[in-house]
A and B are shown apart, each in its own frame.
Chain A
Amino acid sequence: MIRKTIPVLAVGALLALSACGGSGSKASADGEDGVEMGPGVTDKEIKVGLLTDYSGPIAEAATSGSLGMEVKFDQVNADGGVCGRKIVAVKGDTKYDAQQTVQAYRGMAGDVAMIGEVLGSLSIDAIKTNLERDEMPAMAISLNTTTMLEPNVYVPLPVFEVELANGVSWAAEEAGASEDKPLKVASVTGTDDYGKAYASAVEAAAEAIPGVEVVAEPTFALTDKDFTAQVSELEESGADVVLLGTAPSQTAGVVGTAAQLGYQPTWISSSGAWFASLAEPLDGLLDKFYVSGGYGTLTDDVPGITELKDALAEYAPDAAPSEFQVGGWLFGEATVAALTKACEDGDLTRDGITEALKDLTVDYKGITPEVNLGDGDSIVSYSSRMNSIGPKGELVPMGDFYASDAAKAWGEANGY
C-alpha cells in the first residue's frame, strides 16, 4: 500500500509545487508617511521580538528583564510611540532550550522588525546562523565578548569581561598595589568557553597593572554542588582578591564554603553573579563582597531610574523590584533609540534598522554612561561602577562609573 502511494505522492507534490509559486517573498512597502517598511512594521505598529526564558532554568533574571523592557515600550507608546507607531512586543518562550528557541524564533522571524532581546548564550548560539541568514538585527543579553562578536548581534551594555577587569583595577588601587607591594588575585569561572573568556580578562587586567599577579584560576562544572575543592585551591594560593565569573547559585556556594573554611578574601563579582536573594543565606559574609556593575541600580537618583520607576508603577504595579528590570529597561532604551533613528532615516526595513544600529549613540539618562554601538563587534563602553551589598541584597554604589586603563588594555590586546 505504502509503496504504491509514494510515486503518487511525488507527482502530487510536484504539481502542487508548480501550481503555487511565489508565496512568501515579502517585499517592503512605503508607509503613509513615506517611511519604507519591512516585516513587522505597519503604519500603526512596529513588532519587536523578545526571545527569553519565561519558564526554564534562568527565568528569574529573564522575566524581570523582559518586564523592564515591556514597561519601556508601554512608556514610549503612551507618548505616541516611535514616529506614530506603537511598539508591540512579540514574546517567545525559549525555556533556555535550543530547539525551543529555534521554534520560537522561526515562528516570529517573518513578522518582526528586529529582535529586541535574545537572552542567554545557549539561545543565542541556537539562532545565530538564522539571524545572519535572515539579516535580522538583534540585541543579545549575554554580556560577554563571545556574543558580541556574532554577526548581526549587538550587546548595548558593557560586557562582564569589562566589569571584571575594572574590578581588578579597583582592587589594585584600594590595596595600593605596586611592584614592592604585590597583590595576589584569583578568578573562579566555569569550565566552558565563557568561563575561559572571563578568566583571560582577569589575566589581561592583572598583566596591565604593576604588582598584580594571578595566583589561582580554579574552575567548576555547572552541576557542582560542593565547592570545597575550588575554595581550598584559592586558600592555598593565598589570593587576596577573588574575581567571580559565576552564576548566582555558585556565588553562594563559593563564598559560603570559603567562610566555613575560614578564608576571607575580598570578593569581586560581575553583575551577572549576584542576585539580591543571596543576601539572606550569605548574611554576615558580605562585608568584603563587591559587585562591579556595568549599569546603575534602582536606588540611583538619576532621570533614567526615575522614569523606570514611574513606568513600573504605572504599567506593572504588582512587580517586586529587581535589578534585572534595570537591565531590561536599558535594552528597551537601545531598541527604541535604534527604531527612532531608523524611522528618522526613513527606513524601517531590517536593512534600515541594521544601518541605524551602526554607530548608534544611546543615552541611558544617567543609568550608565552613554554608549556608542560602533560596528557591533566592539566594546560599547569600558565603564562600570563598584557596588557594595546593602542589607536586603541591593547594590549600594561606591562612587562613580569609571573606565580603567586595565580594561582598555585588555580590549586593545584583543582588538575589540
Chain B
Amino acid sequence: MTTTVSAPPTGSAPQPEVAPARRRRVRAGTIGLVAWLLGMVLVPWLGISDLWMGVGIFAIIAAVGALGIQVIMGFTGQISLGHSAFMAIGAYSSAWLGVEQEQPFWVWLPAAALVAGLAGALFAPIAVRIRGLYLAVGTIALVFIGAYVWETWTTVSGGAGGRLAAPVEINGQDLLDGYWSGGTQVMTLFQAWWYFAFAVLLVVMVLTWNIRRSRLGRSMLAVRDRDLAAGVVGIPVTQTKTVAFAISSAFAGVSGALLTAYMGYFTPGQWSLMLSIDFIAMVVIGGLGTITGAVLGAFFFRAVPEVVNWLSAYLPGISQDAKVDGGVTAPLLSQFVYGLLIVVILIFEPRGLNQLCRKPFRWIQQRREGAR
C-alpha cells in the first residue's frame, strides 16, 4: 500500500489560489452574485427567442445535476460516470408519483431526491472499495445496467417508447402551458419554466454552499486531498464518501426529475453515457470544487453547440445544406468546436472558466492596488 501514499496526488483537484486581498475578493464575489441573480430574474423579459430560452432552461436544469457532480468529484475527489443512471432513478420515481399517484410537484421533486439519494447510498459500499481510474470506468456499468432495467421494466418506464413525465402544476395550471391569469397568458411556458427551474437551482445552490462550509464539507475536502491521511487524522473516510455519493445522487435525481418534467415525455434511451460525460465536462471546465464553476460550466456547455450553429451561418466554407458524403456542415463543426473547447480550456486554464472569468477582475484590482 506504500505506493498509494507516496504517489503524487494526481486525482486531486487543482486548488484555487488563495487570494492575497481576501476581503476585497469577497466583496467582488458578492457584487458578481447579486448581478447574476438580477440578471437571471430579468432574462425572461428581455425578448430572448424561444430557442435560446430553451437552451437556458436546459442549462439551469443541468446546473442542478452539475452541482451533484461537484459534491462527489469537486469536493470529495471521486470520479463517477454513473450520474445519468441516478438522474434516471429520479426521473422515473418522480414520473410514477406525479402521473400514476397524481402527487403535486412538492411531493415528487423531494421524493426524486430521496429515492435517487438512497440508490446512491446503496451503491456507495461498492464505490468506496474502488479507487481512481477503476471507479471512473467501473461506474460506467451503472449507465448500461440502468438502460437495461428501464427498457425491460416496462410497467414503470413504458418500454423503449417511453412514458409521460410528471407535470409541474401551480394553482392547477400545468407550467408547460405557460402561466395564465384571468384568460390572459401572464408568462409563456419558457418564462414560467425559467423561474421554476431557477428556484430549484437556488435551493440546491444554497444546500451545496452549506455543505461546503460544514464539517462534512471539510471532511470531503480532506478525503479528496489525502485519502489515507484523512483516515489517519480521524476523518471517517468511508462514511464521508457514502454521504457524498448519496448527496450527489440526490441532486442528480432532482435534475433528472426536472429535466423530464420540462420535456413532458421521456424514453429510456436518453440516460446515456454521454449525458454523464457532459456533467463531468461541465464541472471540470467550469471549475472543480466551486459552486460558480458548476453553474458556469452548465451554461457554457448547453450554449456552445447552439452558438456555433448560429455563428456558422456567417462563416465562409460551412455548408448550410444537408450533406451525406462528408464536408464541413454546421452541426459537425459545432461538435468539433465543443471537443476543441474542452481541450483548449484544459490546456490553458485547467482550473476552469471560473478562474478565467476572474482574471480581468483581478487584473483591474492589481492595477488599482498598483496605482495606490
- On whether A and B touch (CB less than 8 Å), the answer reads yes
Task: Check: B110 CB closer than 8 A to any chain A CB.
Answer: no
Q: Which of B304-334 contact A (CB under 8 A)?
A: 309, 321-325, 329-332
Chain A 1-39 interface 0/1 with B at a Cβ cutoff of 8 Å (1 = within): 111011001001100110011111100000000000000
The answer to whether A125 and B186 touch (CB under 8 A), given A55-B331, A70-B321, is no
Q: Is the CB of B266 within 8 A of A22?
A: no
Of B5-13, B30-38, B225-233, B237-245, the one touching chain A: B30-38
Task: Check: B267 CB closer than 8 A to any chain A CB.
Answer: yes
- Taking chain B's interface residues, is the majority helix, strand, or loop, or is none over half, making it mixed? helix
The answer to whether A193 and B160 touch (CB under 8 A), given A21-B181, A98-B269, A320-B325, is yes
Task: Check: B259 CB closer than 8 A to any chain A CB.
Answer: yes
Of A104-112, A289-297, A364-372, the one touching chain B: A104-112
Q: Is the CB of A22 within 8 A of B185?
A: yes
Q: Is the CB of A98 within 8 A of B160?
A: no
Q: Is the CB of B50 within 8 A of A1?
A: no
Chain B: which residue is nearest A96 at the CB level?
B269
Task: Check: B137 CB closer than 8 A to any chain A CB.
Answer: no
Residues on B with beta carbons closer than 8 Å to the beta carbon of A126: 162, 263, 265-267, 270
Chain B: which residue is nearest A107 at the CB level?
B51
Task: Check: A410 CB closer than 8 A to any chain B CB.
Answer: no
Q: Is the CB of B321 within 8 A of A98?
A: no
Q: Could you tell me the distance between the alpha carbons of A320 and B323 in the complex, rounded to whole angstroms? A: 9
Q: Is the CB of A16 within 8 A of B161?
A: no
Task: Check: A99 CB closer than 8 A to any chain B CB.
Answer: yes
The answer to whether A9 and B54 touch (CB under 8 A), given A21-B184, A25-B185, A129-B264, is no
Q: Is the CB of B188 within 8 A of A67?
A: no
Q: Which of A37-75 contact B (CB under 8 A)?
A: 54-55, 59-60, 62-64, 66-67, 70
Q: Could you tell me the distance between the alpha carbons of A22 and B191 in the complex, rounded to whole angstroms? A: 12
Min C-beta distance of B368 to chain A, whole Å: 23
Chain B 44-58 interface 0/1 with A at a Cβ cutoff of 8 Å (1 = within): 110001111011001
Q: Is the CB of B30 within 8 A of A316?
A: no
Min C-beta distance of A197 to chain B, whole Å: 10
Residues on A with beta carbons closer than 8 Å to the beta carbon of B321: 67, 70, 316
Q: Tell which of B186, B269, B322 touches A21, judged by Cβ atoms closer than 8 Å.
A: B186
Q: Could you tell me the distance between the alpha carbons of A72 and B150 in the complex, rounded to whole angstroms? A: 40
Task: Check: B19 CB closer than 8 A to any chain A CB.
Answer: no
Task: Check: A287 CB closer than 8 A to any chain B CB.
Answer: no
Residues on B with beta carbons closer than 8 Å to the beta carbon of A66: 322
Q: Tell which of B30, B44, B267 touches A98, judged by Cβ atoms closer than 8 Å.
A: B267
Task: Check: A103 CB closer than 8 A to any chain B CB.
Answer: yes
Q: Could you tell me the distance between the alpha carbons of A368 and B321 in the complex, rounded to whole angstroms? A: 27
Task: Check: A192 CB closer than 8 A to any chain B CB.
Answer: yes
Q: Which of A79-104 contact B (CB under 8 A)?
A: 91, 93, 95, 97-99, 102-103
Residues on B with beta carbons closer than 8 Å to the beta carbon of A63: 322-324
Q: Is the CB of B332 within 8 A of A70?
A: no
Task: Check: A322 CB closer than 8 A to any chain B CB.
Answer: yes
Residues on B with beta carbons closer than 8 Å to the beta carbon of A2: 33, 202, 205-206, 209
Q: Is the CB of A24 within 8 A of B331?
A: no
Q: Is the CB of B151 within 8 A of A192?
A: yes
Q: Is the CB of A6 within 8 A of B267?
A: no
Q: Is the CB of B263 within 8 A of A98?
A: yes
Q: Is the CB of A25 within 8 A of B184?
A: yes
Q: Is the CB of A9 within 8 A of B263?
A: no
Task: Check: B41 CB closer than 8 A to any chain A CB.
Answer: yes
The answer to whether A97 and B55 touch (CB under 8 A), given A16-B45, A22-B185, A24-B188, is no
Q: Tell which of B50, B160, B330, B332 touches A106, judged by Cβ atoms closer than 8 Å.
A: B50
Q: Could you tell me the distance between the alpha carbons of A86 and B250 in the complex, rounded to whole angstroms? A: 50
The answer to whether A54 and B324 touch (CB under 8 A), given A16-B41, A21-B181, A193-B160, is no
Min C-beta distance of B34 to chain A, whole Å: 7
Question: Which interface residue of B30, B159, B324 has the most chain A CB atoms within 10 A?
Answer: B324
Q: Is the CB of A103 within 8 A of B58?
A: yes
Task: Check: A146 CB closer than 8 A to any chain B CB.
Answer: yes
Q: Tell which of B49, B162, B176, B202 touches A107, judged by Cβ atoms closer than 8 Å.
A: B49
Residues on B with beta carbons closer than 8 Å to the beta carbon of A193: 159-161
Q: Bin chain A's interface residue count.
A: 35 or more
Min C-beta distance of A75 to chain B, whole Å: 15
Q: Which of B153-190 contact A (CB under 8 A)?
A: 159-162, 164, 176-178, 181, 184-188, 190
Min C-beta distance of A74 to chain B, whole Å: 11
Task: Check: B145 CB closer than 8 A to any chain A CB.
Answer: no
Min C-beta distance of B170 to chain A, whole Å: 12
The answer to whether A20 and B45 touch (CB under 8 A), given A70-B322, A93-B331, A129-B164, is yes
Task: Check: B335 CB closer than 8 A to any chain A CB.
Answer: yes
Q: Is the CB of A125 within 8 A of B184?
A: no
The answer to whether A16 and B42 touch (CB under 8 A), given A24-B187, A70-B321, A103-B54, is yes
Task: Check: B123 CB closer than 8 A to any chain A CB.
Answer: no
Q: Is the CB of B161 within 8 A of A146?
A: yes
Task: Check: A122 CB closer than 8 A to any chain B CB.
Answer: yes
Q: Is the CB of A95 within 8 A of B164?
A: no
Chain B: which residue is nearest A93 at the CB level?
B331
Task: Check: B300 CB closer than 8 A to any chain A CB.
Answer: no
Chain A: which residue is nearest B40 at the CB level?
A9
Min C-beta distance of A278 to chain B, whole Å: 15
Q: Is the CB of B58 within 8 A of A99?
A: yes
The answer to whether A64 and B176 touch (CB under 8 A), given A1-B33, A126-B267, is no
Residues on B with beta carbons closer than 8 Å to the beta carbon of A133: 176-177, 264
Task: Check: A228 CB closer than 8 A to any chain B CB.
Answer: no
Task: Check: A230 CB closer than 8 A to any chain B CB.
Answer: no
Residues on A with beta carbons closer than 8 Å to the beta carbon of B38: 12
Min C-beta distance of B318 to chain A, whole Å: 13
Chain B: which residue is nearest A8 at the CB level?
B37
Q: Could you tell me the distance between the alpha carbons of A95 and B275 in the complex, rounded to whole angstroms? A: 13
Task: Check: A378 CB closer than 8 A to any chain B CB.
Answer: no
Chain B: which residue is nearest A19 at the CB level?
B45
Q: Is the CB of B50 within 8 A of A125?
A: no
Chain A: which residue is nearest B52 at the CB level?
A107
Min C-beta distance of A54 to chain B, whole Å: 5
Q: Which of B327-364 contact A (CB under 8 A)?
A: 329-332, 335
What are 6 A-B pairs at a CB distance below 8 A?
A12-B38, A25-B184, A25-B185, A67-B321, A98-B263, A126-B270
Give residues in A with beta carbon < 8 Å to B. Answer: 1-3, 5-6, 9, 12-13, 16-17, 20-25, 54-55, 59-60, 62-64, 66-67, 70, 91, 93, 95, 97-99, 102-103, 106-111, 121-122, 125-130, 133, 146, 192-194, 316, 319-320, 322
- A98-B263, A126-B270 known; 7 new pairs, CB 8 Å cut-off, are A63-B324, A70-B322, A110-B50, A122-B269, A125-B265, A126-B265, A319-B324
The 8 closest A-B pairs by CB, nearest first: A107-B51, A24-B188, A55-B331, A63-B322, A192-B160, A98-B270, A129-B264, A129-B265
